[in-house]
Structure 1
């Protein structure tokens, strides 16, 4: 993928960057797009800008266009280099020639988000580029941190959380872990088609599932148990994440709680479908999303009482780097 040289790169104004980001989230994630509407206007725009960058990085890494089925790529290291180069340019305040990266640079500067989180996310793409596979639960959770938990921390700072507020950032990370665990549970079949597997090798060995055989029909009853295990972990991190909403402004908490419920339903549907969970892609219906928006409004009112911050703790032994 050729990169424009810095002098040739076009610079967009803020309105154009926001418009591009808004179109990106509307196309790439209806769930996040709906939840983002609950933010205050400026926070909403910034969330769109951050989303557009993360989405573009993911698309470059996997050869996709706003998600969709993966087919695998043969030039993973070159794609990783493109992501790193454009991200570094944006962090330096240089025009990149790509509105997703220029918008990312803008929101990083406006919110003073620590750059280390962007580099942590890119490390997740690096793991995929070298065809990494998790051996243990800790490996799985570290991967989830890199590809989603780091974004949760960035979103928290974007919403006004102090970058030194470790407790609240841990809860934001928890929500990212919950989202990614739900993704992994839902996408086991799609990942297999792209020659990827995020089920830890230790889990497969415990279930006596031979390497590369987890999508075979005869394994489905055991795979359903692993899907439930992922969903149970996702639910635990989702619950832990709610303890961080007391540190957020009301509208930000409303959006976070709505997103947690909407995305959490993906993992819950994996459990409900059991062995049929991978026969078709799981999505949360619009009516259910609207119910979560209403439910989250009520949860926001009583969030400090329902999820007191002093009881928040990591769900498992693993903790954010």
Structure 2
């Protein structure tokens, strides 16, 4: 988008207002001696203020950008460029904006200087990257809504917004019709207002559901930055506004109210457009049956105008509950999921939510009988989803009915929306056997007798999940791998599952002891002169730390054996999966560095500071 300085033109004693006269090697412009280099004044503004900022944002975001992010950025730049071009040209031709010839390089398109055309692009690029940065952690599907799902307050706010925007457009038309000092402000309102009204009308409810900072910061931060740039660097006559078309009111210094409104309006246009894009993509990813097809402008338009009454809000609420579960129970995975493409991210979140909910049903049981009941109900659920051949049962109504009769309300969506049609049944049944192993602790028994037992346990409760994640990746990837490479990756996922579970056990020695559980192999304890009861009574003793480090050594050995195989993954998914692994392995690195006394703990568990997890994700994506 473009922007204009509020600089006042001053009488030039040599050549008249705004005109220059070359004398030797100097030029007089706006009453100020300027060297010929000042013909590059507007270009220098880009070199000093816009391009460096765009470069910094590119450096930060480059590893995080997906194919959809790049498509979105290009799409918004094209729309912004061609939406601004005729409006900008009109203002120049009407003489509302003028450019001293000594401040620009020279080439023009429809009267618009090349530097101004570049500003259409660079402002959109900067604001878009900032928006992507703040929205990257957000799974937009959870914010889809319709009239039945929205609150009366939200509907009232949307209606009030529509009325205010309509009034602003009407005010702009009146100001332009009257001409004179309100012309420039009126033109801003009648140009930006309809675009903002359109996006607000289609995506207002969605926008109101989004976290406030995800919209406010991408609008306000670049607006404030451009206000400062305008005041500090561009009030030198780089361009001028015809004095008879502006109100003459300044926000501060030389920054006139029209300029402030222009920057705010253009950034709002960009962000509202991005929100509309993300709403369209959320519909495409969440309800592929409503808008089938490959990504294109036509598909996005169709998704945006699809009647929200057709949304399956039960699925949306299921996604919301899954996200809430992961935020509470698996922060590392939730952070890592942010870099996965839309549809695979949704399915991975739903898978992890099922695993967490199923684990909690068993772990939170007060007796062995209650725990066995939950395991049998979970197996009954799987039996109804799959037949003996592992195919999905055609009777989904039967599955839903079984879930509603046998599981608490807060667990039902995790089962109902598990993407079983994309998953083999074997790992899910094996996960149930892992839950059974935990029941031995209710008898004061310790089933992890040796290293083979701990590997079996890790295989059942972690490798199964890793394998299921991989099948989702295979399904959603546009690249079909050879069968032998898929087999190698499945085996690597199993081995990596061992590594991740060993890290989990090493982290939770104290937490598990509080629950009466010891997952360290009994023969390892015996080598240190300990029994499981000794560890239960004092899980923070020095010998426990020795065993923790031994288990971490085994974990990293498994990690190093399987990590290179992950390079076989398709490009679009390799980085995100490695981030998921590295985010968890970083817990092991913290435990190694702090010798079991991490700098930050939560309920007895070692945690990795958020800044460090973000750094690990960025570094991993940069190198993979």
TM-score interval, normalised by the smaller of the two chains: 0.7 to 0.9
> Separation in 2 of the partners of 1:130 and 1:263?
27
In 2, Cα distance between equivalents of 1:133 and 1:18: 36
1:56-135 mapped onto 2 (5 Å cutoff):
56-63=357-364, 73-74=367-368, 75-91=370-386, 92=393, 93=396, 94-95=399-400, 96-97=403-404, 98-104=412-418, 107-109=419-421, 111=422, 113-131=423-441, 133-135=447-449
CA distance in 2, matches of 1:192, 1:167: 36
Matches within 5 A, 1:191-270: 191-216=512-537, 220-270=541-591
1:55 aligns with 2:356: yes
CA contact (8 A) 2:362 2:435 kept: yes
Q: Which residue of 2 aligns with 1:304?
A: none
- Following superposition, the deviation at residue 86 of structure 1 comes to 2.7
RMSD between aligned alpha carbons? Answer: 2.4
- Partner SS for 1:114: coil
Q: Which deviates further from its counterpart, 166-175 or 284-293? A: 166-175
Match of 1:311 in 2: none
Is 1:287 matched up with 2:596? no
Q: 1:129 to 1:217 in 2, by over 3 A?
A: closer
**Cross-structure match for 2:335:** 34
Partner-residue secondary structure (3-state), 1:135: coil
Match for residue 504 of structure 2 among 183, 200, 214: 183
Q: 1:137: Cα distance to partner?
A: 0.4
How far apart, in 2, do the equivalents of 1:48 and 1:150 lie? 16
Q: What is the alpha-carbon distance in structure 1 between the residues aligned to residue 528 and residue 342 of structure 2? A: 48
Structure number with higher relative contact order (C-alpha < 8 Å, ≥ 6 residues apart): 1
Cα distance in 2 between the residues matched to 1:102 and 1:281: 31
Residue 199 of structure 1 aligns to a residue whose secondary structure is coil
Deviates more, 1:255-264 or 1:268-277: 268-277
Q: Which moved more, 1:45-54 or 1:74-83?
A: 74-83
- Contact 1:61/1:76 (<8 A) preserved: yes
- Provide the rounded CA distance (Å) in 2 between the counterparts of 1:275 and 1:261: 19
- Whose Rg is larger? 2
- 2:450 is equivalent to residue 155 of structure 1: no
Alpha-carbon shift at residue 259 of structure 1 (Å)? 1.9
Offset, 1:216 = 4.7
Return the match for 1:142 from 451, 456, 470. Answer: 456
Structure 1: runs of 5 or more not aligned:
1-10, 65-71, 301-321
Aligned length: 279
State the TM-score, normalizing by the size of structure 2. Answer: 0.42
* Cα distance in structure 1, aligned partners of 2:361 and 2:518: 19
My pick for the range that moved more, 223-232 or 163-172, is: 163-172
Does the 8 A contact of 1:152 with 1:176 survive in 2? yes
What 5-or-longer segments of structure 2 have no aligned partner?
A: 1-311, 387-392, 405-411, 476-480
Maintained 8 Å contact 2:509/2:539: no
Q: CA deviation at 1:53?
A: 0.7
Shift of 1:202: 0.9
1:185 deviates by 0.5
What CA distance in whole angstroms lies between the structure 1 residues aligned with 2:342 and 2:563? 23
1:315 aligns with none
CA 1:89–1:228 in structure 2 vs 1: closer, same or farther (change >3 Å)?
A: same
Going by fraction, where is strand more abundant, 1 or 2?
A: 2
State the 1:14 CA deviation.
3.7
Q: CA, structure 1 residues 99+217, in 2 after alignment: closer, same or farther (shift >3 Å)?
A: closer
When normalised by structure 1's length, the TM-score is: 0.79
Distance in 2 (alpha carbons) for counterparts of 1:206 and 1:12? 56
